[in-house]
Structure 1
Amino acid sequence: MDQAGTAAEAGAPARPGKNWRDLRKRVLSAIVLAPAAILCVWLGANAYTLLLALGAAILTWEWVHLCGLRTVKLPGAGVPVAVFVAGTLAVMEYPLASWLVLGMGFLLTWLSAERLRGGDRAQQPALRLALGVLYIGVAGLCLIELRHENEAGRANLLFLLLVVWASDIGAYVAGRALGGPLLWRQVSPAKTWTGAGGGLLLAMVIGGLLAPELAPGSPWRAAAVAAVLAVATQAGDLLESAIKRHFKVKDTSSLIPGHGGLLDRLDGLLAAAPAAMILALLIGYGGALWR
């Protein structure tokens, strides 16, 4: 067990100034991935749809792989099929049908996995596999619906991405540089209250400063919305840590240098996207989240 893990088990606070070995890989990966994501969101239509489809393919593959199954045969194939069919309906602007298909996909994947597992209780629980449909699919449908708002959708999605990235960066830098008490030692041996505070603060600053450049609105309201999304981002990060602990893995895959898998990289966005969708529904379509 590494030093952070030993400290976590002992309940000791994380030590500052440690474990920056992955910083270079993280920066290089971000330089490649971030501009591509921003460009696809800005262009919308085919580029954005392709980005989501590629992301969904990788995310569902990683989830099914974590469950010890394959996406090319049942029951593992049920996860990508359900997510893709629901996403296709959402892109075609049939939102109600897309949510119904997602729910049915979850149930059918669960039932098919139970049937194929039969009496072998040593196999992964069927519910664990089926939950991937909701974990990935709900966020995917929210990201599709948010972009359907045209100019407002583009501004909201760019704002969402910037806030999620700011929260991740702030938490990483503050947590590694300052250390401090662990946020939830039973789930993560590295995440600290200091990091959570740093992520929240940077997200609010970035949100407040950049939101008025994306669409008219109050910077103070933008900072408040950024705070909500930052909390959701960090909750998603903790959820992903709990999932990896449950599966007894360090990373969901080795796809992205310095980050692990795409699930490791998008854990915050998977939680923040539904939060942004709820805010959009509360204020009504057609405007910025901070208007």
Structure 2
Amino acid sequence: MPSPDAGAPGSGPRRVAVVPDPPSPADDGDRRRARQARAGRNLPAAVAVGTALGVLVALALFVRKEAFVLLTAAAIVLALWELANAFRARRIRIPVVPVVVGGVGMLVSAFLAGPEALFVTFALTAFSSLLWRVLDGPNPVRDVTAGVFTAAYVPFLAGFALLMLAEDDGPYRVLAFLMVAIGSDIGGYAFGSVWGRHPLAPNVSPKKSWEGLLGSTVFAVVLGVLGVVLGLGGSWWAGVLLGVVVVVTATVGDLSESLLKRDLGIKDMGSLLPGHGGIMDRLDSLLPAAPVAWVLLALIVPVA
């Protein structure tokens, strides 16, 4: 039988309201994972590891300078191990023993004897790498080149941070440098993950954006002013200049390591630091910024 409403004037198909199901915990998890994939890191793990590293570095800086030298040496040895493994995937054999021994020697000589000793130790490391690889087997040119590059890229550049540490106000110089470099990373992540729309270098690192670079500059300049004025008794403009210069060099260093990883066909240099990747993935922006910060602070913020 037809329904009573079938012939009623103006009647039509009856509409049934559809109420969407409430989001399930699985949906929330999917969205959270999507945000983390866009940001490129596990944020809770990154924050926890970053905080622990910050506390460890601060304690090493202000308890004893030698403790910071040991901490830096440990980080550099691990970074060299990561690079050696990454190059080995391309059948490039870095002469690990002379590079590691020479790398630790560069750090110690920079802290104890100054820039001349750092340069001499680097030259000795390069020569010993050549000798080691020539005696170890045929076709050494590629391996020696990679070894010298690794020695220059990691321990030699890190030695400039220990040149800053050797000054009377060294802990505050290193702290100002680290504040600016880490602030650059945090600002770039915060601005880039929220507002990033315009890629900075899409062929090298697609997740980096001009908006992220703006955030890096804002954070680095603010922390640079705080570090220079409060820690070193310098002028505010010196902090601004330090922030801008470190942002430029840190960004170049970050992009350079991204280019190296792309060439080697890997995503991260390692996995020792949850949420960050490997040691080299944290040092990539610090290493090229260290010599620039050392020179700049020596020129515009003389030792008190």
Q: What is the TM-score of this pair, normalised by structure 1? A: 0.83
| In structure 2, C-alpha distance between the alignment counterparts of 1:143 and 1:37, rounded to whole Å | 13
Structure 2 residue aligned with 1:141, among 154, 159, 162?
159
Q: Aligned ranges for residues 8-87 of structure 1 at < 5 Å?
A: 19-20=38-39, 22-68=42-88, 75-87=95-107
Alpha-carbon offset, residue 209 of structure 1 = 3.4
**Matched residues in 2 for 1:74 and 1:185: separation?**
30
Cα deviations across residues 43-91 of structure 1 (Å, max 9, x unaligned)?
232211211121121111112122219xxx9822121011112222223
CA distance in 2, matches of 1:74, 1:246: 17
Alpha-carbon offset, residue 125 of structure 1? 4.2
Q: Which consecutive unaligned segments of at least 5 residues does structure 2 have?
A: 1-34
Q: Are 2:99 and 2:129, in contact at CA under 8 Å, matched by a contact in 1?
A: yes
**Match for residue 206 of structure 2 among 177, 181, 189:** 189
Distance (Å, rounded) in 1 between the aligned partners of 2:137 and 2:148: 13
State whether residues 17 and 178 of structure 1, in contact with CA within 8 Å, keep that contact through their aligned partners in structure 2. no
Partner Cα separation in structure 1 for residue 123 and residue 263 of structure 2: 24
- The alpha carbon displacement at 1:206 in A equals 2.0
Provide the identity percentage. 29
Letter in 1 for 2:180: V
Q: Which aligned pairs between 1:1-291 and structure 2 lie closer than 5 A?
A: 19-20=38-39, 22-68=42-88, 75-93=95-113, 95-110=115-130, 112-113=132-133, 116-119=136-139, 125-151=143-169, 153-283=170-300, 285-287=302-304
Distance 1:217 1:187, change over 3 A: same
For 1:258-286, what per-residue CA distance to the aligned partner results, in whole angstroms no more than 9, with x for missing partners?
11100001111111111112213434752
Bigger drift between 185-194 and 253-262 goes to 185-194
Tell me, yes or no, if the aligned pair for 2:154 and 2:287 is still in contact at 8 Å. yes
C-alpha distance in structure 1 between counterparts of 2:235 and 2:139, whole Å: 59
For 1:40, give the aligned amino acid.
A
- Partners of 1:187 and 1:242 within 8 A in 2: yes
Following the alignment from structure 2 to structure 1, what is the Cα–Cα distance between the partners of residues 219 and 203?
26
- Whether the 8 Å CA contact 2:38–2:193 is kept in 1: the answer is yes
Query: What secondary structure, in the 3-state scheme, does the structure 1 residue paired with 2:233 have?
Result: coil
In structure 1, what is the Cα distance between the partners aligned to 2:274 and 2:86?
19
Greater alpha carbon shift after TM alignment, 176-185 vs 276-285: 276-285
Cα distance 1:113–1:158, how it changes in 2: closer, same or farther (>3 A)? same
Q: How many residues align?
A: 267
Q: Give the distance between the partners of 2:298 and 2:227, measured in 1 at CA.
A: 22
Q: Supply the AA of the counterpart residue of 1:137.
A: P
Root-mean-square deviation over aligned CA pairs: 2.6
Distance 1:45 1:202, change over 3 A: closer
Letter in 2 for 1:19: R
Question: Which protein has the larger Cα radius of gyration, Structure 1 or Structure 2?
Answer: 2
Name the stretch that deviates more: 108-117 or 19-28: 108-117
CA contact under 8 A between 2:228 and 2:238: conserved in structure 1? no
Shift in Å, 1:94:
5.1
CA–CA distance in structure 2, aligned partners of residues 223 and 188 of structure 1: 27
